[in-house]
A = this chain, B = another copy of it.
Amino acid sequence: MRVTELPTPALVVDTVVFNRNLDTMTAALPGPRLRPHVKAHKCTALAREQANRGHTGFTGATPHELLGLARAGLTDDLLLANESVDDQRLRALADCGARVTVAVDSEATLDAAAHNGIREVLIDVNVGIPRCGVSADDAGALADMARARGLEVRGAMGYEGHAVLVPDGAERARLTDESMAILRRAHESVGGPILSGGGTGTYAVNTVATEIQAGSYALMDTAYAKLDIPFELALAVVATVIHTNPKWTVADCGLKALGMDHGNPMIAHADVRFCSDEHVTFSPRAPVRVGDRVLVWPAHVDPTVAYHDTIHLADGPSLDSTVIDRWSVDLRGWNEPG
């Protein structure tokens, strides 16, 4: 089947670009230097491609993501880089057969982990983004408390989420250095072999973290594509033109097929005007006809993939490429199957 024969809207990945993205990252951060974050792609088949390149430890943002990786046999070393106080889900993680490490940033999250049989933790440190993480000053005391509860403290984690998309490379590096100085200071009182952090935007400049939690690099999006990083757009939504007139054109890829928090998607040789639930209105610079297919490039990969149940793999970049495989987006949602 050709890409143009897919029912639309549908996620399609150019496997040539995708493999190049993966190889580029593996060359830069071999083996355990990269702990791929699966929240960007939510797909165990894609994670297996990362594992095949030597990255067998993974990062997830939800227990569901980690439980899915475990079910898929990717059990080496799974990090929940997020806080949870859900007894049932933490217990499921403790019992899933994988090595599981959980981020904790408070007595409550630490108690929940210990109480539900989690054995290993990272102390999550706030390094600048107003989200989770204990202050660096309090990190050591929390690590002591964890050890007193019988937990193994593997080290510290701090995500410089406020830096990863900063357009100016020098400023991005400066913010990363600032964040990692905080993480390093916290780590001195926390101990353990791991400093976990980083993302696609900072993978090359974050030299403090012992492991980088990048995820978007594999598929990319138009927000990350603006940065000075060597990864290219691999994921698009293929859509069908359903209306044309002299002033604008409409295709069937809307709000429910795209994460919109980073703004409108991109269509090549066209100006995108706006998205509705099931429509994108755009002004093409070359004539298109009803029934034609277009590639719509999302601004934010994570919430885009989360709307779809399947990723279609194509053997090249164009609409005339062939669909060579399909992957299930099997890590989406929050609840276990059944």
Give 1 or 0 for each of A212-245: 1 = CB within 8 Å of chain B CB. Answer: 0000000000000000000000000000101111
> B-contacting residues of A (Cβ < 8 Å)?
7-10, 39, 61-62, 82-86, 88-89, 105-106, 108-109, 130-133, 135, 161, 240, 242-245, 247-248, 250, 252, 255-256, 259-261, 273-279, 281, 289-291, 300, 302-303, 306-310, 332-335
Q: A289: shortest Cβ distance to chain B, in Å?
A: 7
Distance A245 CA – B245 CA, assembled complex (angstroms): 54
Distance A82 CA – B130 CA, assembled complex (angstroms): 42
Q: Which residues of B contact A274 (CB under 8 A)?
A: 130
Contact A277 B302 (CB under 8 A): yes
Known: A243-B105, A256-B302. A131 touches B250 (CB 8 A): yes
Q: A308: shortest Cβ distance to chain B, in Å?
A: 8
Distance A62 CA – B106 CA, assembled complex (angstroms): 46
Q: A228: shortest Cβ distance to chain B, in Å?
A: 23
Q: A66: shortest Cβ distance to chain B, in Å?
A: 13
Contact B88 A273 (CB under 8 A): no
Q: A73: shortest Cβ distance to chain B, in Å?
A: 24
Known: A277-B302, A302-B277. A250 touches B7 (CB 8 A): no
Identity of the chain B residue whose Cβ is nearest the Cβ of A308 in the assembled complex: B333
Known: A259-B260, A273-B130, A276-B131. A85 touches B240 (CB 8 A): yes
Contact A131 B62 (CB under 8 A): no
Q: Which residues of B contact A133 (CB under 8 A)?
A: 243
Contact B108 A289 (CB under 8 A): yes
Distance A333 CA – B308 CA, assembled complex (angstroms): 7
Q: A163: shortest Cβ distance to chain B, in Å?
A: 14
Identity of the chain B residue whose Cβ is nearest the Cβ of A303 in the assembled complex: B255
Q: Which residues of B contact A247 (CB under 8 A)?
A: 130
Contact B306 A333 (CB under 8 A): no
Q: Which residues of B contact A243 (CB under 8 A)?
A: 83, 105-106, 109, 131-133
Q: Looking at the complex, which one of B259, B275, B277, B289 makes contact with A39 (CB distance below 8 Å)?
A: B277
Contact B84 A242 (CB under 8 A): yes
Apart from A7-B88, A105-B243, what are 4 other A-B pairs with CB-CB below 8 Å? A9-B334, A61-B278, A132-B242, A306-B307
Contact A131 B85 (CB under 8 A): no
Q: Which residues of B contact A61 (CB under 8 A)?
A: 277-278
Q: Which residues of B contact A290 (CB under 8 A)?
A: 83, 85, 106, 108-109
Q: Which residues of B contact A86 (CB under 8 A)?
A: 7-8, 240
Q: A103: shortest Cβ distance to chain B, in Å?
A: 10
Contact B130 A281 (CB under 8 A): yes
Distance A101 CA – B240 CA, assembled complex (angstroms): 21
Contact A83 B242 (CB under 8 A): yes
Distance A274 CA – B131 CA, assembled complex (angstroms): 9
15 cross-chain CB contacts under 8 A: A7-B88, A7-B335, A9-B334, A82-B252, A83-B242, A83-B250, A85-B290, A85-B291, A109-B242, A131-B243, A255-B259, A256-B302, A256-B332, A260-B261, A307-B307
